[in-house]
Structure 1
Amino acid sequence: MNSPPPPSPWGLSLSLRVVLTLLLAWAAARLCVWLHTPIPWMIGPLVASALASVIGAPTASWNPLRNGGQWVIGTALGLYFTPTVGALVMGLWWAIALGIAWALALGLGFGAWLRRVHARQLDHLSPAELRSTTYFAGAIGGASEMTLIAERHGARTDLVAAAHSLRVLLVTLTIPFGMQAWGVSGIDLAPPGAREVLPGGFALLTALTLAGILVMRRLGRANPWFMGALLVTMGLTLSGVTLSAIPPGLSAAAQLVIGVSLGVRFTPAFVHTAPRWLASVAFASVFMMIVCAGFAWLLSLVSGLHPATLILGTSLGGIAEMAITAKVLQLGVPMVTAFQVCRLVAVLVLAEPVYRAWVRTMKKPG
């Protein structure tokens, strides 16, 4: 998923393609601000770059910009974890555990359904390849991480990556507009621990989070630019240390580049890859959003959390996209972040063991 974009048939250099894509994304973001859409600095760039990519325009995303966007968002989210909020999150560990179990069960069911529906269409695959392809396409984890794991098990990685990309796109476009139509916002129990941008504190925060990112990269952890910045900032904020807030313009720019990085995946080749497979993923994604909303509502009854917070926390979207939605709409940022981060870690750790256990169960006689 992080491979460099292919050469442009338009004869444009990568740098020019990136600049043109960013200009398009900025114009789309400004239009969405004017239209009062939810999370305009991510929705506008995402939709504009996706539409342009689908029709074959020479769009491009530069990985260092996306990494920088994740760095900013991870840092901004960590500022919400004040000691009071941290105690609240820890007190609801059981709800987070239920969210993890729900995600694993949902992903397993989704993969089994894909296998049943597409067994004939994918009859050129061996039984092992079919199992791994459908299982890892259904797992509710990060697109890059699930694709890499799937590759180790001989899966069709293009189908796995396509399933995750389409699912995240649909969730990212649907849920924010659903929240806006619902009219829910501003339910955070507390604002970020730091509210003022202090140049010296911001410089120190930048250095410390960069160190955390480098450590995570050294350890080979998933999403190091997001998780490294998040964990360092969480540690500081939970300790009562408030160095600086994040400049609003920098936060908007981070949302923009994350939106672009998702939108440029939808090339003409993507659209023409197994249309029936994509249609199945789209149908299942909508169905799972509905059942996830029902699960969130039931969990809200026993946890006391707002249903909107739990819908974001248990949704099928990417961690950065759902956390950005929670941050912009002020819908329980710490809880949403905790649910999404814990689920990401759990799925990364458990996806392969669950797959192996599932395969052993299927191979048992009778």
Structure 2
Amino acid sequence: MYKQNLLIFLLAAIGGYIFSLLHLPIPWTLGPMAMAIIWKLLLKRTLNWPKKVRNAGLVILGYMLGSPFTPAVAHQVVQQLPLMLASTLLLIGLCLGTGYVSGRYTGVGLANSLMGSIPGGLSQMSVICEEIEGINLSVVTLMQTVRVLTVLFVVPLLALHGLADQVAATSRPVTHLELSQLPVLALFTLLILVSVKLAKRIQLSSVYVLAPVLGTASLVLAGVTAPVLPTPIVAVAQIVVGIKMGQDVDFGSLTNWKTIAFINFLSVTSVIAVLLGIAFAYSHIAPTSLVTAFISMAPGGISEMGLTAMAVNADLPTVVAYQLFRLLFILLVCVPVTRRLIQRKCASQH
């Protein structure tokens, strides 16, 4: 198993290098993900990537995403809370609306189409749907997978080559960690480990992303500057996360998966197109660039959209704040409300 995982890692690294040579967006995540999909679906080989390795990569990415949250940035974020709520409600409304239409055309049922369209995390939505009666987990997983893959490829491509084409994907310099920074990094590491443990105790969703982001941001807000991690470490973190994302892709569990995937792809691209127009208008009424507004509103994950923001030199704290606010709103408000409506409808039918 160790030899196979090492081989997969090497192939994933090659995939990331190829994607970087082609100047594709977030190459060290999407390249490994593509190689994992090829390994699993085309070569028909088994893939059991350790979740602990993926989680370690998420912790590193979470640290990077939380490091820019200075007090000045926090003040700016607080001022934008009304806009965050408005954009979140708008995005959820768009996704649920297209989910309703998708359910009518694919015949998967309203409950499945709604849960499959909510822009939450793929793994989180799968766990939540296991607890809801009348939900087809395969349908929801497929719809969420198509949404995530579409966002991961379309949004970075638009951001990098359409909205910020003057920025090269590989323009970020190679960084080195100074010995004098090791004690500070050890302090951040300790706080992140404590944050993860506390997050698990209170059963917080997306523990290995949210806990490092919140833990790192809290220390930065206290006045401690977060050391910049060496580029190879960041690349390895993206590789191990990308491999697990590729492993989770499974289109073969449904007989009509092609129809569901195609309709859902059209739905997601429609939402992205509408969001692009809204981001354009938003960038003219708020002190935010178009590319920052677009990535902030995109229905992707914190880590993926954060990496996209770094690739195009967008305002990372703003992007992470919007994505974090939306994820918390979905997990704490949207999903419980939708679940209750679905359960009430199922009860009325019995």
TM-score by length of 2: 0.88
Name stretches of at least 5 consecutive residues in structure 2 with no aligned partner.
Answer: none
Deviation of 1:60 (Å): 3.5
Counterpart amino acid of 1:175? V
Label 1:157 to 1:271 Cα distance change in 2 as closer, same or farther (>3 A): closer
Q: Which residue of 2 aligns with 1:324?
A: 307
| More moved, 216-225 vs 100-109 | 100-109
Counterpart amino acid of 1:227? L
Superposition map of 1:61-80 within 5 A: 61-80=49-68
Identity %: 24
Counterpart amino acid of 1:73? L
Match of 1:94, SS? helix
Q: Which residue of 2 aligns with 1:42?
A: 29
Alignment match of 2:337 (pick from 342, 346, 353): 353
Label 1:115 to 1:248 Cα distance change in 2 as closer, same or farther (>3 A): same
* Contact 1:132–1:153 (Cα < 8 Å) also in 2: no
Distance 1:162 1:16 in 2: 30
Superposition map of 1:130-145 within 5 A: 130-145=109-124
* Contact 2:159–2:295 (Cα < 8 Å) also in 1: no
Tell me how many residue pairs correspond in the alignment.
Answer: 337
Counterpart amino acid of 1:84? A
Alignment match of 1:335 (pick from 306, 318, 322): 318
Label 1:275 to 1:180 Cα distance change in 2 as closer, same or farther (>3 A): same
Cα RMSD for the two superposed structures: 2.6
Superposition map of 1:87-98 within 5 A: 87-98=75-86
1:270-327 residue CA offsets vs partner (Å, 9 max, x unmatched): 5866221111111111111111111222222222211111111111222211111112
Distance 1:267 1:132 in 2: 21
Residue 294 (1) aligns with residue 277 (2): yes
1:30-69 residue CA offsets vs partner (Å, 9 max, x unmatched): 2223333332211211222223322123333221111111
Residue 108 (1) aligns with residue 75 (2): no
Deviation of 1:210 (Å): 0.9
Superposition map of 1:172-211 within 5 A: 172-182=152-162, 184=164, 197=178, 198-211=181-194
Counterpart amino acid of 2:7? L
Deviation of 1:111 (Å): 2.4
Distance 1:270 1:327 in 2: 35
Match of 2:252, SS? helix
1:67-119 residue CA offsets vs partner (Å, 9 max, x unmatched): 11110011111111111111111111111111211122123212211221123
Residue 20 (1) aligns with residue 7 (2): yes
* Contact 2:195–2:215 (Cα < 8 Å) also in 1: yes
Residue 303 (1) aligns with residue 274 (2): no
